[in-house]
Chain A
Amino acid sequence: MDYFLQQLINGLALGSIYGLIAIGYTMVYGIIGMINFAHGDIFMIGAFTALIAFVVLVSIGVTAVPLALFLVLLIAMALTALYGFAVERIAYRPLRHSFRLAPLISAIGMSIILQNFVQVAQGARVKPLPPLFEGGFTLLDDGVFRVQLTYVQILIVVTTLVAMAGFTFLITRTRLGRDMRACEQDTRMASLLGVDIDRTISLTFVLGAALAAVAGIMYLLYYGVVDFYMGFVAGVKAFTAAVLGGIGSLPGAMLGGLLIGLIETFWSAYFSIEYKDVAAFSILIVVLIFLPTGILGRPEVEKV
């Protein structure tokens, strides 16, 4: 029971990170109907910018952890959003009226570019970051096993909740959110009614990238290491989360993220840690076969 509770806590923290990345996939899919293959690497960029910003801030004397964390969050979100913008501008916008596979292929190209760019610029080695805050609350202690809720885990869940709340407000209450929902329903009709399609799509990528940056920072704090290849596996898992929750649905993405995080954690804890990625990838295949619309998704209507 203790062990179970501990795994539940770990799974929720991990799932929050996946959920934040999954939102980026689901938003882009909702609007342009395509998978953003480079999104996992955007997440990796977010983690790297955060790491570099941390190192620089500490060296120039910003050592108060809350202030440093806040600044890092701002810097990483802004710069990663810029990457999201650039990906859309370079790999998606010129191909909007091209044939079906073209944007997919250029996005894969973009993903290869981002990975290798970071490898060239920052080296291939894994980069460690010393833990910023250690410790946490001990929930249960029976002398054998201690169930711990670390500060980092609390931070991850709280940040995710705040980000989700802000994001939900943006989608449901602001002009931009209304434009995005309009584009999602019918792009051409939205443009006839005066919605700037290019701008809305751009901002969708920017918002998704900013959330991926938040996920990147949380990942960095949680695991303490980053490398240029981490976006690949995390991206596929987050995509699985988006599909599981129902692609195109924002609460679905978060729900899917939490489920994937829990499944992965429990699988590693009770079965085998070597095959944890196999578990996540198999879920993707199984979900697509038996539940292609996901838990909260709407069935897709194919039009000529």
Chain B
Amino acid sequence: MARAAVRHDLAAALKSATLAGLAALGLFGLIVGVRTDTGPTGALIYYTRFDDVVLLVAAVFAGTLARELLFGRSGIARGRLVPERLKAVAAPLARFAAPALLGFALILPVVFYHNRYVLDLGILVLTYVMLGWGLNIVVGLAGLLDLGYVAFYAVGAYSYALLAQHFGLSFWICLPLAGILAAFWGVMLGFPVLRLRGDYLAIVTLAFGEIIRIVLLNWQDVTGGPNGISSIPRPSFFGIPFNNDDNGFAALFGLEFSATHRIVFLFYLILALALITNWVTIRLRRLPIGRAWEALREDEIACRSLGINTTNTKLTAFAIGAMFGGFAGAFFATRQGFISPESFSFVESALILAIVVLGGMGSQLGVAVAAVVTIGGFELFREFAVYRMLVFGAAMVLVMAWRPRGLVGTRLPSVFLAKRKAIDATLVKEGHG
């Protein structure tokens, strides 16, 4: 009896694997199998790569077969992905993950003082951590899918670049201005469109991001068009420049001049900015407005019937998220010294969204870990650059199917009765807590 059932399973698995293989043959046969290229005369030529197609089809066949045999027809059960025993071991470790990461970030410039590459990578990762946390307010807490987040990043960057170049304002004056301007744009966009349903909002923000990019690209007189803005002033140590002069940073503090001082300063600056984002988010979550955001994410109709002004609540989330995007943009401009519309394409928005989604929408630690993993992964697999977005897209789809709450799926409640307890990912729908 049991054997008959097994044989039946095998037959069914073989059948569905064959079907999947045939589908893969159809999908990949022409597009992978025939590579078109511009020939020497300018006309299109092609050459075939059917060996790659065979490999792909075989992989799909084997993958489907393995999945069917291991997990059966019901698909992969979410809870079974991580065994219970492993969860029990990992739970206490998770409590120390955040302090450990923070400690590591604090001592990183000391340990790797002579390694410029690591410092630059650290700054890059922290920029994305900050962007991820900023977007997390909008997507993770308020549940508004914003596909044009990079527009606010661009507003911040261009605000700083233009204010510093035309009015000679210092970084420390421009930083809040950049944030305010970005928030202002957030309100401008948000006010009319936040009444819309979630998916409409997604596509409107997408369109808005593109509009900003096209305007930056074509408004040559102000933004420099595709050439961008160069020689943006570098930040100073609260007014003391990082140069080799007598009143420079090194001379005043009795140090030998080194270009690394500025890099280390930038590192701590972005770390501080990111931590401020994190701190503000955590505090806001405990305020009525933060709870209203999370309530809104769970059920908009219920919110409205309880007397929450949904438009205003969404608007604050949108504006605060945009403000942190603007801060990050100002930092980006001062670090690079050069900005152009190329840095603010949709791919960038998608990358930040991927970080938030993979990290677990609403989870601060998860977003930080996801930023480290994704940006670190980018650097690690630099030679496979063309495949990296492919991997990201696949990760977004798979995470949604298997762990919709992201890598860090557990939630800590903002409000609790006697004892703060983590809530397992399988128990939360939209990301309570």
Q: Which positions in A face B, CB cutoff 8 Å?
A: 34-35, 37, 45, 48-49, 51-53, 55-56, 59, 75, 78-79, 82-83, 85-86, 90-91, 94-95, 98-106, 108-123, 125, 127-130, 232-233, 236, 239-240, 243, 274-275, 277-278, 281-282, 284-285, 288-289, 292, 300, 302, 304
* Residues of B close to A109: CB separation below 8 A: 354, 392-397, 400
When A and B form their complex, which 10 residue pairs have the shortest distance between CB atoms, in order from nearest?
A: A109-B396, A112-B393, A113-B393, A281-B207, A106-B400, A109-B397, A116-B390, A274-B218, A116-B389, A289-B192
**CB of B203 within 8 A of chain A?**
yes
Given pairs A49-B30, A51-B36, A53-B30, 13 additional interface contacts (CB within 8 A): A52-B34, A86-B23, A102-B404, A103-B400, A106-B400, A109-B392, A109-B395, A110-B393, A112-B396, A122-B35, A128-B38, A278-B215, A288-B200
Interface size class of B (residues with CB under 8 A): 35 or more
B31-A122 in contact (CB<8A)? yes
How far, in Å, is B64 (CB) from chain A's closest CB? 12
A267 nearest CB across to chain B (Å): 13
Residue B255 lies at the interface, judged by CB distance under 8 Å to chain A: no
Known contacts A118-B31, A285-B192; is A239 also within 8 Å of B203 by CB? yes
**Is the beta-carbon distance between A49 and B31 smaller than 8 angstroms?**
yes
Closest Cβ of chain A: how far from B390's Cβ, in Å?
4
Are B387 and A120 neighbours in the complex by a CB distance under 8 Å? yes
Q: Complex: how many Å from CA A78 to CA B199?
A: 29
Q: List 7 A–B pairs whose Cβ atoms lie within 8 Å, in order of A's numbering.
A: A99-B429, A109-B354, A128-B44, A282-B211, A284-B203, A288-B204, A289-B192
* Highest count of chain A CB atoms <10 Å: which of B29, B31, B38: B31
- Give the residues from 330 to 361 in chain B that come closer than 8 angstroms, CB to CB, to chain A: 346, 350, 353-354, 357, 361
Q: Are A236 and B206 in contact (CB under 8 A)?
A: yes
B405 to chain A: closest CB distance in Å? 9
Cα–Cα, bound, A88→B396 (Å): 15
A118: chain B residues within 8 A (beta carbon): 31
B169-206 interface mask toward A, CB cutoff 8 Å, 1 = contact, 0 = none?
00000000000000000000000110011111011101
The reply to whether B211 and A281 contact each other, CB–CB distance below 8 Å, is yes
Interface of A is mostly: helix
Q: A48-B31, A55-B36, A106-B401 are known contacts. Are A116 and B393 too (CB-CB below 8 A)? A: yes
Q: How far is the CA of A78 from the CA of B429 in the complex (A)?
A: 38
B390-A120 in contact (CB<8A): yes
Q: Which chain B residues numbered 353 to 409 have a C-beta less than 8 Å away from chain A?
A: 353-354, 357, 361, 386-387, 389-390, 392-397, 400-401, 404
B residues less than 8 Å from A281 (CB atoms): 207-208, 210-211
Q: Could you tell me the distance between the alpha carbons of A243 and B199 in the complex, rounded to whole angstroms?
A: 12
